[in-house]
Structure 1
Amino acid sequence: MEAAAQPSPEPAAAPPSPTIIFDRYQLGRVLGRGSFAKVYQASSVADRSAVAIKIIDKNSESLRAIPEAQVLREVHAMRRLQSHPNILKIHEVMATRSKIYLVMELAPGGELFSKLTRRGRFSESSARLLFQQLVSALTFCHENGVAHRDVKPHNILLDKDGNLKLSDFGLSSLSDQHRLCGDGLLRTFCGTPIYTAPEVVSRQSYSGPKADAWSCGVILFMLICGSLPFEDTSISSLYRKAEKRDYKFPSWVSKSARYVINHLLDPNPTSRMGLEALLETTWFKKSSSPLLKSQSDGVLYEMSALAKDYDFAGSVSRANAFDIISLAAGLDISGLFETAGVCNKVKRFTSSAPFEEIRDKVREVGGKLGYGLEKMKGGSMVLRKGGSVLTVEVWEIAQSLMLVEVKMDGVMDMEELHWLEWKAELGGLVLSWHSDGSITD
């Protein structure tokens, strides 16, 4: 009997074609993912050089819930800090209507947190070398007006040689935001509680650099001791421990290292050791890394010298990172600034007019519409009309770029017809409107 014919094997499925974005980068494996972004390893189509690309989905529910200003902060801060060898570099920014692509330096060594988990702890000399690089990076941040505010091992990456790369500036604060008004102190609670200074969690006004110094103390303790100084499932209990300095050193920690950690983990920010004082300690200067010397030599890094041309989806050039993100449809820059107090209605617009012109125009329009000037200080003005109070605040967020925020409180609601009068009168100042609607803080 003739054997039955065997069915011919199905052809093997063709491997999926590689994903190439903007004809410039080929995406590889996923390196990490968050609530509204994924980070991919990628390579340049032109020269095959390796990069990391963070892809942010502007339509995700998570991004709607989290201030989009994290994107702005991250790009603006990284561009400002581009020249430091221990800060992750951003190469370019591209966007479509639905996604933003941040093309960054690849750190193949992964997170410091993962390395700590595998090793348990570092020798004191190895810990010092990493810590010197971290402090060098943060000192450079502070000298250039950036407080990181989320310093933790998860946001510290390592390159192929084990050198440190500070990353993730989404919660950073830029000093430009506070130049025209306020005391220069910050007020927003942000960061990860086990690494965050007590004054931040207790919602006091705080110094960004001093808060970063506390985080450095936590990280140094982890590097040398292999554990956290404070641990508790309750945040209130955690910070009671921090306030009491309730931690113990293992026997192998040297006296000079204990001195540094104790002074960084001072719950009083006024007496806490800052990073400038840390640079002068005997423990820190031992076997000092050569790159620290460039900081003490007083080298100046100007923002203008770091500026580079960008392509926005291949069509817009000669724009800085802030311009690019502002152009991306659907992004709201409202979360970029520290705001105190609760308001019922908020309107925001950007303007290239100088502060004095904006101030005079607001006073003029207010007078036409029956508002009297009640108070003016720095970049803030308060105008009143009966029981209705209008607060106008102006921030310089980049060179020749202002953000104006108009808040209405009181018995008279800012009905659309009423607001249209203001909007028509202010029109000549406006580059772009943002958050033209109501929000609740």
Structure 2
Amino acid sequence: MTFEEIADSLLEGSKSSGCPFYEKYEPYEILGRGLCSVVRKCVEKTTKTPYAVKIIDLTRKDNLQATEQREAGYNEIRLLKQCSDHPYIITLHEAFETPAFLFLVFELCPNGELFDLLTQKVRLSEKRARVIMRQLLESIAFLHSKGIMHRDIKCENILLSDSCDIRLSDFGFATVYDKNVIYKELLGTPGYLSPEMLKANSYENQPSYGLAIDMWACGVVLYTLIAGSPPFYNRKTIYMLRDIMNGKYTFSGAEWEDVSSECKELVERMLCVDPTKRITAHEALQQRFLQSTDTVQIRTAVSRVKSVFHAIRAIIRMRRLSRTPQPICKQTLSTKPYKHKALRKLIDSSAYNLYGHWVQRTDEQNRAALFQCFLKPHQAPSLKRRHRLLSDSQLTSQ
């Protein structure tokens, strides 16, 4: 049986045994999978509010592994509670525990992962990348101010909320940094690992890594957003890790031709091999690339449709407004009646019905005659003759 089948069977057992999570929430489709966890969409039964629940499997064959998973879950809960007031860090709603599972209920980010956006767009513009990186670095600066080291920053762990703001998630590898502790564990995704982490894990007598590893991962994220591909990639992992330790990457390619020097400079300062010379989150937020006043947001398909709909409504209203006659005051009506096109047409058509011919527009004297309440003497006989001819023709036809 696969991990998902085992998890579903155990979940059914928890559901039937009166698990408090199932008493309050209704689970739905799977949103993502981890090594020993599954993320599902769930809906609170009373309020119908959607959430995302991370279900951590605690039923491991090795009791030591089960204990480690439980401790990692407790650690994630503790760290997320410290970060609950930050707008760009995922919010933990509540948590439940059973002998088999640990349920962590988070806010739902309907726009998915940043990695999914890159899959659709391939690469982002500098304006969009600037907005994302500013929010990401603000969250990292907040974590580092509390001494928290994330250790797993990547595009898959950056979620997009309903308003398209980011939410930094997955604190399973996060820990509170202690200067007296030597960190040598190799944690995270290979393409985002920092040189000092690789060296500390591979060689003896190497110094411990610290908070700077998060800034290296942020540099990889920025490079990937702009170029559409990671800075360090090779089918053979050993070659990729060697390039990471040497800081070997390039700005070659057509995608980098139009990129500003400020953006490239920030990438270089983040992907600095020496962690003591690497830029910090607070320093990065002061860089020129992130100091722009652009407020470009990532627009979803729904927001684009709404924008088109409002634009069409505005065009229709403007056309209707241009065809609507403007109000005419009494003074204009008595002094300049020909100023308005609609009134001018009305006067000319009425004059034609009265005089039997159109008045020349350039002849102001004849136009003045239109306002006389009586017929001119030389026009009266012609009208009488016309009536007489009309009467004779009617008699002849009869």
TM-score, normalization: structure 2?
A: 0.63
Post-superposition offset of 1:183:
3.0
1:253/1:61 CA distance change after superposition, 3 Å: farther
Q: Is the 8 A contact 1:41 1:51 kept in 2?
A: yes
Whose strand fraction is larger, Structure 1's or Structure 2's? 1
Counterpart residue type for residue 266 of structure 1: C
Q: Superposition pairs for residues 7-156 of structure 1, below 5 Å?
A: 21-61=21-61, 65=65, 67-68=68-69, 69-156=71-158
TM-score, normalization: structure 1?
A: 0.57
Distance 2:64 2:27 in 1: 26
Post-superposition offset of 1:209:
2.0
Whose helix fraction is larger, Structure 1's or Structure 2's? 2
Equivalent residue pairs, number: 268
SS of the aligned residue for 1:27 comes to strand
Equivalent of 1:162 in 158, 164, 182: 164
Q: Deviation per CA, 1:23-58: give whole Å up to 9, x if none.
A: 211111111122322111111112111111111221
- Is 1:195 the counterpart of 2:197 in the alignment? no
Q: Is the 8 A contact 1:148 1:208 kept in 2?
A: no
Q: Is the 8 A contact 1:35 1:62 kept in 2?
A: no
- Is 1:279 the counterpart of 2:285 in the alignment? yes
Q: Is the 8 A contact 2:196 2:209 kept in 1?
A: no
Equivalent of 1:266 in 269, 272, 295: 272
Q: Which has the larger radius of gyration?
A: 2
Distance 1:65 1:90 in 2: 24
SS of the aligned residue for 2:53 comes to strand
Residue in structure 2 matched with residue 186 of structure 1 by the alignment: 183
1:63/1:163 CA distance change after superposition, 3 Å: farther
> Which structure 2 residue ranges, 5 or more long, are not aligned?
1-11, 201-205, 297-398
The one of the two structures with greater contact order (alpha-carbon pairs below 8 A, sep at least 6) is: 1
Q: Is the 8 A contact 1:36 1:60 kept in 2?
A: no
Post-superposition offset of 1:149:
0.5
Percent pairwise identity? 31
> Which structure 1 residue ranges, 5 or more long, are not aligned?
1-15, 291-441
Q: Is the 8 A contact 1:36 1:63 kept in 2?
A: no
Post-superposition offset of 1:287:
2.0
Q: Deviation per CA, 1:382-418: give whole Å up to 9, x if none.
A: xxxxxxxxxxxxxxxxxxxxxxxxxxxxxxxxxxxxx
Distance 1:57 1:95 in 2: 11
Distance 1:37 1:287 in 2: 40
Distance 1:73 1:232 in 2: 34
Post-superposition offset of 1:62:
8.4
RMSD: 2.3
1:62/1:192 CA distance change after superposition, 3 Å: farther
Residue in structure 2 matched with residue 356 of structure 1 by the alignment: none
Q: Is the 8 A contact 1:52 1:104 kept in 2?
A: yes
Post-superposition offset of 1:92:
0.8
Q: Is the 8 A contact 2:89 2:139 kept in 1?
A: yes
Distance 2:51 2:139 in 1: 21
Equivalent of 1:256 in 262, 284, 287: 262
